[in-house]
């Protein structure tokens, strides 16, 4: 225990000068000693600016006695903390108890023993100094806590501001992307659609070759726009799962048709094999699963110059309600170096830039694919060897479907529309005259009759007067938009069941949801490839052969 500092001040109070002298002599070597000959004088000294650190107080004095002086000291907040030791000849238990109850810190009996005085003074000064140090530390800690709390509050406010800014920025980003997508999709639809029309009307090989290049470039641009939108939707957590009943074989056939064509064009062998133990009808997010498989299979063809590409589906596990399937897409292409295997799932990363230039692409496909599969509760990975080829795999659990999903007709949709005897009448609503012209061509080519309206209001008027077999409805239009027009059509008692297909360049999931909420039956995102348009029309017109 460290001793008290020697510059401590001690006030000695006694009505007997001899006692004062003895005590002063004992203490003055070590401390600054002041004396008071009575209680009044003692209070005066105690209240001065330079307060004593300890008081040795006689109990029995004329005028104010020790108890009264102590009471006064304790009443005043400037002096209430000064430790007081009673010095008295009455050292019985009662007096001692009374003194301690009154707030004295100790008791020294007369006749005075110098060693006892020194030891007690020393102890109480040390305790007092500790108390003061503790109080200072406490005050300092409180200040620090206050300062920290203030800092945390400031940080919280800043974080809240940041969060609000981020939300605003995110909303602005979505709006910008929505607008950008709209502005890019509308003209792209015209490029794709008119190229398709020309391809069907022209026989000259050189021109057809150029047209196929235009069609391919437009297709790539379209998938780039879709990838960027998919990526931002996934990043912002806006991608919802849409589970439906579907036929696995029908879905794989569709993928095969596309991939086989791509593989044949590169003289690659293409094989596909589906485990016959997998139940035919399943339930899950078919659209996303198909998107991922198609993407992996296109990559396999893209990165393979010689050899073969294959798509396999095997049953891993089956219960009464669920089936676990492993899909494998294997190629004998360029392969991927071991050290780079995980990089390819990172957004915008590609194995090396020379390859990017050679093969094109944004480096978003795989990261989107993996996220989509994970969202469905599945896993996705790759095994690969540089120069030998790659196997991308997906492990996914799908539900068995309780119903028998309709298997899409294998007759090409355009042909099935053309052989439709009824010559259905379509109302085409679009404010963009190039798109109107394109869709008119495409509809006429399918043998459909077609009227057109330039905005929603005009469309509602026409639907009132004519019982159209189907309405193709643009969304963003002046005067009345496609959503309001559909709602108005649904209020017409005779037209509640007329199929309305939304055709929009706003292709976010929310845009689609809004269309269904307004009462539309289906949704097509621009650019609509002609075969997709025909297949959607066939679905509604052939079913509704009214």
Instruction: List residues near ligand ADP by CB under 6 A.
Output: 299-300, 303, 331, 333-336, 344, 350-351, 355-356, 361-366, 390
- Sheet with strand 84-88: strands edge to edge: 32-36, 9-13, 54-58, 84-88, 106-109
We find the least distance from the C-beta atom of residue 167 to ligand ADP, in angstroms, to be 29
Q: Quickly count: other Cβ atoms within 10 Å of residue 185's Cβ.
A: 23
We find the least distance from the C-beta atom of residue 377 to ligand ADP, in angstroms, to be 21
DSSP label at residue 81: T
- Residues with Cβ within 8 Å of residue 536, at least 6 apart in sequence: 501, 522, 524
Gyration radius of the chain's alpha carbons: 45
Between the alpha carbon of residue 536 and those of residues 406, 501, 530, the distances in Å are: 14, 9, 10
Tokens coding 331: 């190629």
Closer to ligand ADP by CB, 187 or 361: give it: 361
Closer to ligand ADP by CB, 178 or 335: give it: 335
Write b or e for each residue in 438-448: b if 16 or more Cβ atoms lie within 10 A of its Cβ, otherwise e. bbbbbbebbeb
Closer to ligand ADP by CB, 86 or 303: give it: 303
Write b or e for each residue in 112-142: b if 16 or more Cβ atoms lie within 10 A of its Cβ, otherwise e. eeeeebeebbbbbbbbbbeeeeeeeeeeeee
We find the least distance from the C-beta atom of residue 362 to ligand ADP, in angstroms, to be 5
CA distance 43 to 40: 5
Q: Which bin fits 128, alpha (ψ -120 to 50), beta or left (φ > 0)?
A: alpha
Q: What are phi and psi of 523, to 5 degrees?
A: -140, 130
Which one, of 239, 276, 294, 285, lies nearest residue 398 by Cα? Answer: 285
Q: Quickly count: other Cβ atoms within 10 Å of residue 496's Cβ.
A: 10
Which one, of 391, 412, 377, lies nearest residue 312 by Cα? Answer: 391
We find the least distance from the C-beta atom of residue 270 to ligand ADP, in angstroms, to be 14
Closer to ligand ADP by CB, 344 or 507: give it: 344
We find the least distance from the C-beta atom of residue 217 to ligand ADP, in angstroms, to be 15
Closer to ligand ADP by CB, 228 or 462: give it: 228
| Extended beta strands in 244-307, E state | 244-247, 269-274, 281-284
We find the least distance from the C-beta atom of residue 303 to ligand ADP, in angstroms, to be 3
We find the least distance from the C-beta atom of residue 517 to ligand ADP, in angstroms, to be 33
Residue with the shortest CB distance to ligand ADP: 361
Which one, of 20, 29, 38, lies nearest residue 118 by Cα? Answer: 29
Closer to ligand ADP by CB, 122 or 391: give it: 391
We find the least distance from the C-beta atom of residue 179 to ligand ADP, in angstroms, to be 24
We find the least distance from the C-beta atom of residue 363 to ligand ADP, in angstroms, to be 4
We find the least distance from the C-beta atom of residue 289 to ligand ADP, in angstroms, to be 16
Peptide bond preceding 229 in cis form (omega within 30 of 0) = no
CA distance 67 to 56: 12
We find the least distance from the C-beta atom of residue 212 to ligand ADP, in angstroms, to be 21
Closer to ligand ADP by CB, 69 or 336: give it: 336
Do 86 and 103 form a contact (C-beta atoms < 8 A)? no
CA distance 220 to 223: 5
Closer to ligand ADP by CB, 113 or 356: give it: 356
We find the least distance from the C-beta atom of residue 391 to ligand ADP, in angstroms, to be 9
Closer to ligand ADP by CB, 85 or 351: give it: 351
Closer to ligand ADP by CB, 328 or 445: give it: 328
Q: Which bin fits 377, alpha (ψ -120 to 50), beta or left (φ > 0)?
A: left
Tokens coding 462: 């026409």
We find the least distance from the C-beta atom of residue 247 to ligand ADP, in angstroms, to be 27
Closer to ligand ADP by CB, 336 or 538: give it: 336
First to last CA, the chain: 104
Closer to ligand ADP by CB, 263 or 344: give it: 344
Closer to ligand ADP by CB, 295 or 506: give it: 295
């Amino acid at each position: 225990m460290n001793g008290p500092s020697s510059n401590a001040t001690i006030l000695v109070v006694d009505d007997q000068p001899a006692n004062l002298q003895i005590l002063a002599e004992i203490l003055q070597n070590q401390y600054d000693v002041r004396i008071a000959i009575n209680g009044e004088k003692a209070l005066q000294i105690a209240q001065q600016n330079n307060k004593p650190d300890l008081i040795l107080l006689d109990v029995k004095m004329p005028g104010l006695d020790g108890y009264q002086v102590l009471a006064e000291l304790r009443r005043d907040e400037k002096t209430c903390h000064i430790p007081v030791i009673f010095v008295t000849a009455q050292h019985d238990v009662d007096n001692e108890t009374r003194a301690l109850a009154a707030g004295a810190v100790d008791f020294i009996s007369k006749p005075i023993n110098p060693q006892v005085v020194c030891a007690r003074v020393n102890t109480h000064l040390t305790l007092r100094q500790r108390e003061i140090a503790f109080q200072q530390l406490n005050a300092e800690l409180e200040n620090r806590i206050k300062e920290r709390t203030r800092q945390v509050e400031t940080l919280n406010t800043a974080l809240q501001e940041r969060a609000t800014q981020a939300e605003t920025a995110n909303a602005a980003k979505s709006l910008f992307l929505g607008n950008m997508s709209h502005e890019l999709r509308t003209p792209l639809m015209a490029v794709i659609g008119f190229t398709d029309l020309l391809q069907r009307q022209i026989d000259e090989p050189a021109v057809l070759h150029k047209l196929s290049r235009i069609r391919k470039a437009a297709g790539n641009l379209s998938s780039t726009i879709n990838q960027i939108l998919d990526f931002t939707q996934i990043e912002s957590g806006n991608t919802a799962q849409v589970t439906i009943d579907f036929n696995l074989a029908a879905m794989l056939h569709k993928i095969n048709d596309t991939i086989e064509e791509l593989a044949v064009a590169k003289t690659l062998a293409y094989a596909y094999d589906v485990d016959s133990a997998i139940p035919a009808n399943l339930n899950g997010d078919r659209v996303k699963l198909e998107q991922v498989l198609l993407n992996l299979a296109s990559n396999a063809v893209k990165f393979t110059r010689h050899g073969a590409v294959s798509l396999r589906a095997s049953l891993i596990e089956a219960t009464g309600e669920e089936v676990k399937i492993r899909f494998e897409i294997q190629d004998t292409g360029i392969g991927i170096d071991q050290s780079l295997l995980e990089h390819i799932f990172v957004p915008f990363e590609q194995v090396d830039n020379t390859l990017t230039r050679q093969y094109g692409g944004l480096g978003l496909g795989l990261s989107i694919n993996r996220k989509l599969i994970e969202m469905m509760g599945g896993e996705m990975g790759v095994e690969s060897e540089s120069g030998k080829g790659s196997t991308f795999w997906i492990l996914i659990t799908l539900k068995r479907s309780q119903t028998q999903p309709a298997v899409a007709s294998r007759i090409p949709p355009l042909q099935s529309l053309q052989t439709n005897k009824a010559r259905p009448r379509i109302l085409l609503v679009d404010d963009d005259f190039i798109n109107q012209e394109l869709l008119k061509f495409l509809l006429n080519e399918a043998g459909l009759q077609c009227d057109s309206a330039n905005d929603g209001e005009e469309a509602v008027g026409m639907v009132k007067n004519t019982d159209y077999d189907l309405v193709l409805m643009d969304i963003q239009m002046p005067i009345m938009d496609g959503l309001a027009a559909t709602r108005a059509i649904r209020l017409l008692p005779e037209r509640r069941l007329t199929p309305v297909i939304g055709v929009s360049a706003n292709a976010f999931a929310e845009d689609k949801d809004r269309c269904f909420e307004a009462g539309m039956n289906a949704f097509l995102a621009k650019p609509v490839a002609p075969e997709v348009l025909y297949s959607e029309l066939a679905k509604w017109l052939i079913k509704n052969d009214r």
